[in-house]
Amino acid sequence: MIKNIFPYLNFEGQSKEAAHFYAEVLGAEILSMTTFAEGNSGPEAFPLPDGAKNLIVNYPRLKS
């Protein structure tokens, strides 16, 4: 039996809102969420447009 589902979805700039919606609908808790700014650090970091810094790069992990 499958115990976990790992979807990868694209919401074109609305991933954070979608994650909170699905967490509420599924009765789940968001365990983690990474923005482009958080995932782009260190000596090899590349410049990000201001509009992209708060977009979600990794879809949140949910716990039911």
- Mean pLDDT by runs of 10 across the 64 residues of the chain is 74 86 89 86 86 81 73
pTM above 0.85, yes or no: no
| Nearest by Cα to 58 from 24, 2, 10 | 10
**pLDDT the model gives residue 59:** 66
- β-bridge pairing 56-63 and 29-35: antiparallel
Helix (H) or strand (E) holding 58: strand 56-63
